[in-house]
A and B are shown apart, each in its own frame.
Chain A
């Protein structure tokens, strides 16, 4: 099976702009989660989608939003970019929700905000 794919892999934006990142999960996986990884804060959970519904959200401001489509593909949007949003954004897919929810990560999108 093909792994999790994320596009674009690299992105440079300026403060105040908005950005949309895309994630295609492993075929058959219905759950998609998004994470932000920075050297200072480590890996932090943004939100999780299952069957097109946001199941939970981490402690990030409303500028961070997402959605999931019927084919399980997901997008994440960040509006009004700030310098502190520079990070590696990782998408992870899982077969389902619940306790047995081992996640498989994509290669990430490296976002640089200038």
Chain B
């Protein structure tokens, strides 16, 4: 079982719709969770992070964390074509005395006009 799993997609949504991206993780001791956006040929860009169960909103983005079910999701409201990218989920947990991030393989999102 992979430590951090994401559906590779592509997830295709129309402009203006809500895009829902999901991520599951296997380490129950994970403590912090991050979403990154990566455009083709570019480096990952931090969108937001969440530590506690529940929702965290930042502009058009909402991260949702459910530690009991071991999943974290990212909702993108009013999706725009410029949101088309690969979204990486990262989970950070304690390993060897430090907090180590493990990344999922990413979900490709396509927002079509």
Contacts and interface: CB of A to CB of B under 8 A. Distances in A.
B92 A99 contact: yes
Contacts of B101: 33, 45, 103
Interface residues of B, number: 25
Interface stretch (B9-17, B59-67, B77-85, B102-110): B102-110
Interface of A: 33, 42-45, 48, 55-56, 58, 88, 90, 97-108
Contacts, number: 56
A33 B44 CA distance: 13
A63 to B, nearest CB: 20
A105 B42 CA distance: 10
B46 A106 contact: no
A43 B99 contact: no
Nearest to A4: B43
Contacts of B103: 42-45
Interface string B80-99: 00000000100010011111
23 contacts: A33-B101, A42-B104, A43-B103, A45-B103, A48-B100, A56-B95, A56-B98, A58-B100, A99-B31, A99-B51, A99-B92, A99-B99, A100-B32, A100-B51, A101-B32, A102-B49, A103-B34, A104-B46, A105-B44, A105-B46, A106-B43, A107-B42, A108-B43
